[in-house]
Amino acid sequence: MSPEPAAGRRGRVVIVGGGFGGLAAAHELRGADVDVTLVDRMNHHLFQPLLYQVASGGISEGDCASSIRAQLRRQSNATVVMAEVTDIDVEARRVTLDRGEQLDYDSLIVACGAESSYFGHDEWQETSCDLKSLADAVELRNRIFGAFEEAERTDDPDARREWLTFAVVGGGPTGVEVAGALALLARHSMKRHFRHIDPYAIRVILLDAGDRVLPAFSEKLSTKAARGLAAVGVDVREGSKVTSIDEDGVTIEGAGGEERIAAKTVIWAAGVKAAGLTEALARATGASTDRGGRIEVQPDLTVPGHPEISAIGDMANLAGSDGRPLPGLATVAIQQARHVARAIRQGHPGASTPFRYFDKGALAVVGRGRAVCEIRGLELWGPPAFLTYLGVHLYYLGGVPGRRMRVLNAWATTGLGSRANRVIQRELPHRHPSAGAATGV
Amino acid sequence: MSPEPAAGRRGRVVIVGGGFGGLAAAHELRGADVDVTLVDRMNHHLFQPLLYQVASGGISEGDCASSIRAQLRRQSNATVVMAEVTDIDVEARRVTLDRGEQLDYDSLIVACGAESSYFGHDEWQETSCDLKSLADAVELRNRIFGAFEEAERTDDPDARREWLTFAVVGGGPTGVEVAGALALLARHSMKRHFRHIDPYAIRVILLDAGDRVLPAFSEKLSTKAARGLAAVGVDVREGSKVTSIDEDGVTIEGAGGEERIAAKTVIWAAGVKAAGLTEALARATGASTDRGGRIEVQPDLTVPGHPEISAIGDMANLAGSDGRPLPGLATVAIQQARHVARAIRQGHPGASTPFRYFDKGALAVVGRGRAVCEIRGLELWGPPAFLTYLGVHLYYLGGVPGRRMRVLNAWATTGLGSRANRVIQRELPHRHPSAGAATGV
């Protein structure tokens, strides 16, 4: 039953997605007797765990992304195509690209990741910022530094307060990290920059619908994280369910009833769902999906009924040893990629042995020089956790000379030393004078 | 007649523009008994001489720009406003901003620079890229790296040739530097990245209407520069007048008659004119302007009839000792700014003594590790000129820790070491499949 490549023809592996999973799969196939084609809509691999640093002006765009071609340049069996996969013909074993080109495969690894989910309120996307792509991070940076400029410019105290209020929705690692970075940026590294803004008037509010931030960590670490955020000035509001977002703020429902928070900048870090192609793949294979749109894969990561198709990373739902779905972490995607790729190396069309996740733990940075960290039952917090966080991220970052030093510098100085990246790449919108400087809107 | 500030009131200086001139003027007024307000549409000062390195992926956006606020944060008499000046009332001595706010001044320094001029063909702007702002450089980088991706993706040899042909219009320093950087990028630092593109198939054509590149330099240095460009693979075409630009290429008229160059990427570096506000200032003061829209200022840099208004840098036309207008160089703008600001420090509303330009020379980098350089009659070329170029630019760059090293690294490795910045921040456009992969357009 194994569709071995015909004699004289090398196996063809198509990988969809150049994120942590896709790139690790390609690397693992280095030197294997297959032709690898990696397809991604963008030309770069994104180091997503650092996107929040781009948004807060700590590091530059280039320090958070690297050319996929550069990463695979010495791998002679790999070809990179910058394109979008629009269709998968599972019978013909062929993917179609956005300009109609077709790629035949013997093995298909789908690793197209996740995108933001607004829980049925797609209109919230229009006024809030999320943090999934490099363009998102640059846009958020423009909006954060633009908000400071607006606050400096207006004479109206109400308008100034709204510009200086930042609401972060979602208490997972991204929400926690972006809230902490924003609070530090506002209070510590913008000193003396403005003449009319008091750094201590800047409010960063972290809204989470659950009863604690970082729910994937232990209760103890959640408490540590909440305290760490409070220490740098973040207003942490657990049990706050967002019921509406518009351009002037966010409405929440909490223990004390409905509340309106006037904030010109709302950052969405609350939910993800499997990205675009996942649905097409589920339809084509009849695979079932979970609430987040992720494909429920076999224990060996293949799609049911299709041993030649594997789905890995954020778009796949596979239970871990505790029976809960594995988390959307880079380490999960990388381990899954290697598992699948090794089997392909050995001549299988996809993996055939069950995947076991080796839990390397989870980390999140909280404010300045502090983090929480859970490694195989060991819990760390404060500076020791931060050092662990640094080590792990710098290890995985790699790739570009000097980058580790720049990123380390950004953390060490909380952006103090890297004013280079606080550039707003556009003008402030011109407002009609009759609307008046007084309203500032 | 000198409108000294009334007793008890400090003089108010408004500076329009945060480029080399405006920023130098603000710095020169540090500690002076005046209130300085610097107005710029953007929040950053741009190190324009390095923009070409951003476009070719050598350095990141942040390495070419720095926050104006950060630069003035320790200057307590300076306020920065991110806004556009829309009007100047020279009688009331008041400028109006885009939201209707007004700023009164005792002294006004206008330093709003230059923008690209298309010699009456504004439609060329739609399909060509220029290189005046950070957004321009990022857009050009997207287009350059996008063109390589398009060439890699298409099967049609004609389309591939068009994507791999880059036409640079204008043989001044910007045109010469961008052409050299592109040729080096294509031939040397993209090796192994592509499977279908031959680096030697990439053509960079530098078009200049005059009879030699770098006409501001001596004939000998022009010849050296043209040879240096040819050595790295640039096709230098002097005497080529552009008669049309569209999305598929450029038409030129040369000694051999009309010629069509099919090129998907056309870079405009041919002409500049004084930027937006200049016209309003000329109208308000009755000052005359030259062909490039620059205001013909008095020998002391003030606008005729208005000793309280100075115009400096690229928007001002003042003859040098040789009777020719001073060139649009950072050193000219900086010296003029200091001249004007010193007079204001001494209690004058503007400068009152004639400005004398101390010619520090001119520099342009040509290809790899080579430059041409003219300093007070001394001519240098090749590696010695390049070292001089490095020294001068690194000296003036300053500002942000680590930046000098990164920029030096970009030059030293011609981008080899800095693949970080080759990011295309968007997808390739989706083309209708029926148009076909074969045409690639």
Given phi > 0 = left and psi -120 to 50 = alpha, else beta, which region is B167? Answer: beta
Say if residue A436's pLDDT is above 50. Answer: no
How many residues appear in chain B?
Answer: 441
Nearest by CB to B192, which of A73, A82, A83? A73
Can you read off the two tokens belonging to residue A270? Answer: 């609350």
Annotated catalytic residue B177: yes
The interaxial angle of helices B382-397 and B403-413, nearest 10 deg, is: 160
Query: β-strand B316-317 against B295-296: which pairing, if any?
Result: parallel
**Residues of chain A with C-beta less than 8 angstroms from the C-beta of B423:** 43-44, 61-62, 65, 67, 134
d(CA B117, CA B130): 10
Supply the pLDDT for residue A3: 44
> Of residues B150, B162, B177, B308, which has the active-site annotation?
B177
∠ CA B194-A51-A81, nearest 5°, is: 20
CB contact under 8 A, A60 and B61: yes
DSSP string, A32-97: SSEEEEEEESSSEEE-GGGHHHHHTTSS-GGGGEEEHHHHHTT-TTEEEEE--EEEEETTTTEEEE
The per-residue pLDDT of chain B, averaged, comes to: 88
Which residues neighbour B32 within 8 Å (Cβ) at sequence distance 6 or greater?
B77, B341, B344, B345
Distances (CA, A) of A324 to A357, B40, B79: 12, 54, 55
Partners of residue A303 on adjacent β-strands? A306
| CA–centroid distance for B190 within its chain | 26
Interface test with B, best of A66, A425, A441 (most B CBs within 10 A): A425
CB contact under 8 A, A420 and B63: yes
Closest chain A C-alpha to B145 CA, distance in angstroms:
9
Which residues neighbour B88 within 8 Å (Cβ) at sequence distance 6 or greater?
B94, B95, B96, B108, B110, B277, B280, B281, B284
**Residues of chain A with C-beta less than 8 angstroms from the C-beta of B26:** none
d(CA A441, CA B218): 54
CB contact under 8 A, A84 and B427: yes
Asked whether B163 and B266 are in contact (CB, 8 A), the reply is no
Domains of chain A, first to last:
11-41+83-116+272-345 (3.50.50.60), 124-266+362-425 (3.50.50.100)
Say if residue A431's pLDDT is above 80. Answer: no
d(CA B398, CA B403): 7
Residue A319 DSSP symbol: B
Nearest by CB to A145, which of B43, B61, B431? B43
Alpha helices in B261-378 (DSSP H): 277-285, 330-345
Confidence of residue B4 (pLDDT cuts 50, 70, 90): very low
Phi and psi at residue A368, in whole multiples of 5°? -105, 115
CB contact under 8 A, A135 and B426: yes
CB contact under 8 A, A74 and B418: no
Closest chain B C-alpha to A425 CA, distance in angstroms:
6
pLDDT in tens, A315-374: 999 999 889 999 999 999 999 999 999 999 999 988 889 999 998 888 898 877 889 998
Supply the pLDDT for residue B434: 45
pLDDT in tens, B269-305: 998 999 879 999 999 999 999 999 999 999 999 999 9
DSSP string, A394-428: HHHH-SSTTHHHHHHHHHHHTTTT-GGG----SPP
If you compute the radius of gyration of chain A from its CA atoms, what whole number of angstroms results? 23
Query: Exposed (0-12), middle (13-18) or buried (19+): which is B76, by Cβ within 10 Å?
Result: exposed
Partners of residue A311 on adjacent β-strands? A110
Closest chain A C-alpha to B153 CA, distance in angstroms:
7
Query: β-strand B265-268 against B165-169: which pairing, if any?
Result: parallel
Supply the pLDDT for residue B416: 43
Nearest by CB to B41, which of A61, A427, A436? A427
Confidence of residue A208 (pLDDT cuts 50, 70, 90): very high
∠ CA A155-A161-A164, nearest 5°, is: 110
**Residues of chain A with C-beta less than 8 angstroms from the C-beta of B101:** 153, 437
Distances (CA, A) of A399 to A78, A135, A246, A388, B418: 18, 21, 40, 20, 10
**Residues of chain B with C-beta less than 8 angstroms from the C-beta of A74:** 192
| CA–centroid distance for B29 within its chain | 25
Which residues neighbour B227 within 8 Å (Cβ) at sequence distance 6 or greater?
none
Can you read off the two tokens belonging to residue A372? Answer: 């929480």
Q: Please give the residue of chain A at the shortest CA–CA distance from B420.
A: A62
CB contact under 8 A, B425 and A138: yes
Complex ipTM: 0.88
Chains A, B: CB pairs < 8 Å: 182
Q: Please give the residue of chain B at the shortest CA–CA distance from A137.
A: B425
Tokens 């010699």 belong to B119
| CA–centroid distance for A280 within its chain | 22
**Residues of chain A with C-beta less than 8 angstroms from the C-beta of B60:** 60-63
- The fraction of chain A above a pLDDT of 70, given in percent, is 91
Supply the pLDDT for residue B411: 65
**Residues of chain B with C-beta less than 8 angstroms from the C-beta of A419:** 66-67, 70, 399-400
- Number of continuous H segments (helices) and E segments (strands) in chain A: 13, 25
Tokens 């680590």 belong to B402
CB contact under 8 A, A433 and B193: no
Nearest by CB to A402, which of B74, B409, B427? B409
How many residues appear in chain A?
Answer: 441
Query: β-strand A11-16 against A107-110: which pairing, if any?
Result: parallel
CB contact under 8 A, B417 and A424: no
pLDDT in tens, A210-227: 999 999 899 999 999 999
Better pLDDT: A409 or A233: A233
CB contact under 8 A, B193 and A44: no
Say if residue A203's pLDDT is above 70. Answer: yes
Confidence of residue A384 (pLDDT cuts 50, 70, 90): confident
**What are all long-range contacts of B317-322, with beta carbons under 8 Å and residues at least 24 apart?**
B317/B289, B317/B290, B317/B292, B318/B355, B320/B357, B320/B359, B321/B356, B321/B357
Asked whether A280 and A110 are in contact (CB, 8 A), the reply is no
CA atoms within 13 A on the CB side of A123: 6
Closest chain A C-alpha to B331 CA, distance in angstroms:
22
Of the candidate ranges B48-52, B226-230, B242-246, B316-320, the one whose mean pLDDT is the lowest: B48-52
Closest chain B C-alpha to A137 CA, distance in angstroms:
11
Model pTM?
A: 0.90
Q: Please give the residue of chain B at the shortest CA–CA distance from A45.
A: B423
> Of residues A162, A177, A308, A374, which has the active-site annotation?
A177
CB contact under 8 A, B420 and A426: no
Measured on CA atoms in the order B416, B420, B421, B426, is the torsion positive or negative? positive
